Structure 1
Amino acid sequence: MLTILTVIIFLLTYIVIMTEKIDRALAAGIGGVAMLIVGIYDVNKAFVTYIDWNTIALLFAMMIIVIITSQTGVFEYVAIMMAKVVGGRPIPLLIVISTLTAIGSAFLANVTMVLLLVPIILTIVRMLNIPAIPYLISIIIASNIGGTATLIGDPPNIMIGQAVEHLSFNAFLIHLSPIVLIIYAVVLLYLIIIYWPKLQVDHIDRKKLASVKASNYLKLTAALPKSIIVLALTIAGFILNPILHIDLTSISLAGALLLLLLTHDENNPEGILKQVEWGTLFFFIGLFMLIGGLEEVGIIDELARGVVLYTEGDLPKTSMLILWMTGILSGFVDNIPFVAAMIPVILEFKDYGMTNLDPLWWSLALGACLGGNGTLLGASSNLVVAGLAAKEKEHIRFSEFLKVGFPIVLISLIISSIYVYLRYLLNFTG
């Protein structure tokens, strides 16, 4: 009975979120609390087991750093300089901002990258009087593809790297970056084709941009160098995480608190906290509680273990099934709990006589990270961009993103299937 109730609550909540009839944070919160009310699990288990406070704290800390830094005008400065480099032309701007997002997401947490870039792109598009949505969607797509390339780029990769000792940072780079480059090139061409007709800039706006002095947007106060230094130190901490052995959440929290302390005279901490995207954070909390309900009644575990029964331990068949199942489901269900459930299942494949599990790990990583482009609910970076955009009155509709994102997932999975087969599975087939 509890299983049926869990499925009903989950599906109803997701339908409300997808139809956007009410605020998504409110919908997710109601669904999460409904899990408590009907007795799926208690509040202690929700707070201790199912809500990923590391993710919540990381988002919270980076929001604070970005809020304080944005008040110095540095994002506007970077935005104008970037737009000037491409002469205000919309398609070259799409290419530049997407590529910057993809590269940055490979070597930083992709959530961090979108937090930094969304304010920049919003400033540029308003100056050029062009639609923001194509650029915001492109940032989401690029962040998930770029984050696939390295161990630290996306949470599923971090989880896999922690579970499998020999899958180091360099291993992810060597095995995943080649296919990521191919997928990114194809997807970027696809984005250019579909958005080309929608992105036209009037020559008057381009002339207006050319006459603007980027330096006029900088606020030359003591907060400017402090913000840049702390932001740089935080990013350096992320990059040096394998050496420092300090988790990303601790680094980001330290950076946020240090910046609040250093800019105490220029910025009232209470005022900064009021600007935090609380709706996005509470949406994540509700979403974790919803997924927790599926975990509690064993639905996610059963889905994962069904792979074992269906494939009967055949490596090529198992690898392709994991890639496509993870890729499709990750578009609709947050990939973090699903990957968490799949890791012990793949480890159990050793009992079936499989000595080389690496193709399964790469299939899981590719499916989980690339599948996040399927819907707005597929990955953390998607939700962060949507939350920041909504605050600036730029609403990314669920259906609009689905039309762009889901075909990209199918393209990505087809290319990944060919890559995994040729590189890892060819010698295992008869």
Structure 2
Amino acid sequence: MLYTFLILLAVLALLSIIFEEVTHINKAKTTLFLGCISWVALFMAAGDPGHEKIVEHRLDDNLLEIATLWLFLMSTMTFVAYLNAKGMIQILVQKLFPQRVSVRLLMIQVALFSLLLSAICDNVTATLVSLGLLTTFKLDKQMRRRMAVLIIFAVNSGGVSLITGDVTTLMIFLGGHVHMSELMMLFIPAAISVMLLAVLFSLRAEGEVSTSPIKRDYQTVDVIIAAIFFSTIIMTMVLNVLFGIPPVLTFLTGLSVMFLVGHTSRSDKEEIKILEYIRQVEYDTLLFFLGILLLVGMLKEIGTLDLLTQAYAMFDPNISNFVTGIGSAILDNVPLTAALLKAEPVLNTPEWLGLTYAVGVGGSLLVIGSASGIIAMSKVKELTFVSYLKYVPALLLCYSVGYGLTLLLAYQLFEA
């Protein structure tokens, strides 16, 4: 009875996201409420102090994961918010992109930019910076939504080929199942599938778009903070590979350096303005993440993920990996991957690479299936759960092509 009630809460949370435009209730508020109620129900059903301690321990573990993500998001968003407010991102776009470009060419350029950026830094940073590009171009609502969907797929695809790009890739690598050189092969199918989606999206895209020339007076400190941001991205990758330092710690260090440098030249009034911008624009994103991860943690607690692991073992690994990727569009791919690794399936190298691609890219099939999608939904008002569904056939096709190419290349290069 309890499990049915808890699963019903998860379904209600999903429905609240789907029908947000009908109910006019912010999805961050509904998911947070239902996520909290689910854990309250777990405590009330514990029955005795011993079981209550177990539930409390599991909640603490879940909150630790959430806090880590929150701090990481907060530090990344602070950098991006500052650079965006100072016009630095727009200036960068004008340096990299022509002032006037066809919509079709822009799609390919944005897809490549997002793909490459997400391969060298985390998905959150890549998404925020890539979405920042869209604000510099005069796009209509439909085209902005289509570009946002392309960015989500490109960011998730680019992250699978390096351990710095996606948490699930790092988990599989640390488990000793794949080597760095094998992972880099995934960039080929990832790039092909992203370019395929860009071409599909650009078929009916006509005309040109332009950027508004920006003449911003930026100070030396703004350039220094931009350098700190990109140095932090590089150091996050280097320190994680060499010393296993968690990315959140490196980014918080970079944020502290930014504050120390910025404090010497920013007025108190300007600093308050930046903090207000962050609070008003980003807080819903953080609350939405909190609610979603509380619900996923609850599903993990009641054994739903274990049931999926058992179902995984019943079929051919190549089929199971493909379906697991689709499943990661509904359930967070991190606990899903953790559950599979804990089950210790016996897979060869091509099958491990197939799983890596599937759980990394499969979350793109629904807007709530990845951190990139959740961030995009909170920042691009035209992008909702329902509006995203119209792109699912194209996304599924490109995901399938990428997965098929992964297996084809992997079996040719690494078959035991």
TM-score, with structure 2 as normaliser: 0.86
Match of 1:29 in 2: 32
Structure 2 residue 275 is the aligned partner of structure 1 residue 273: yes
CA RMSD of aligned residues (A): 2.7
Equivalent residue for 1:158, pick from 149, 155, 170: 170
Deviation at 1:243, TM superposition (A): 2.7
Contact map agreement 1:324 1:367 (CA 8 A) in 2: yes
Instruction: Answer yes or no: is the 8 Å Cα contact 1:327–1:409 preserved in 2.
Output: no
Query: What residue identity is the alignment partner of 1:139?
Result: I
Residues 118-129 of structure 1 mapped to structure 2, 5 A cutoff: 118-125=131-138
Q: Which amino acid aligns with 1:119?
A: G
Structure 2 equivalent of residue 307 of structure 1: 312
Mapped to 1, the partners of 2:93 and 2:364 lie a distance apart of 25
* 1:80 counterpart (55, 75, 94): 94
The 1:81/1:38 distance shift into structure 2, 3 A limit, reads same
Give me the whole-angstrom Cα distance separating, in 2, the residues matched to 1:108 and 1:282: 24
Q: Which moved more, 1:53-62 or 1:5-14?
A: 53-62
- Say if 2:42 is the partner of 1:39: yes
* Cα gap change, 1:122 to 1:130, in 2 (>3 Å): farther
Q: Is the 1:155–1:336 Cα contact (8 Å) retained in structure 2? A: yes
Residue of structure 2 aligned with 1:325, choices 317, 323, 326: 323
Distance in 2, matches of 1:301 and 1:406, equals 29
Retained in 1: the 8 A contact 2:178–2:352?
Answer: no
Please tell me the residue identity of whatever aligns with 2:289.
F
Aligned to 2:389: 402
2:213 is the alignment partner of 1:200:
no
What amino acid maps onto 1:92 in structure 2?
A: L
In structure 2, the residue matched to 1:231 is 229
Structure 2 match to 1:261: 260
Is residue 123–residue 166 contact of structure 2 (8 Å, CA) maintained in 1?
yes
Query: Separation in 1 of the partners of 2:61 and 2:414?
Result: 45
SS of the residue 2:218 aligns to: coil
Aligned to 1:70: 84
Runs of 4+ displaced beyond 6 Å: 425-429
Q: CA, structure 1 residues 422+103, in 2 after alignment: closer, same or farther (shift >3 Å)? A: closer
SS of the residue corresponding to residue 88 of structure 1 reads strand
Q: CA–CA distance in 1 between the matches of 2:412 and 2:143?
A: 44
Give the total of aligned pairs.
Answer: 395
Query: Which runs of 5 or more residues in structure 1 are unaligned?
Result: 312-316, 350-355
What residue number does 2:183 align with? 172
Mark the CA change 1:307 to 1:148 in structure 2 (over 3 Å): closer, same or farther: same
Partners of 2:119 and 2:160 within 8 A in 1: yes
Kindly indicate whether the alpha-carbon contact (under 8 Å) linking 2:108 and 2:195 is maintained by their aligned counterparts in 1.
no
Query: What is the CA–CA distance in structure 2 between the aligned matches of 1:46 and 1:16, rounded to whole Å?
Result: 24
> How far 1:79 moved relative to its partner?
2.8
2:368 maps to which residue?
377
Contact kept? 1:150, 1:157, Cα under 8 Å: yes
In structure 2, the gaps of 5 or more residues are: 44-51
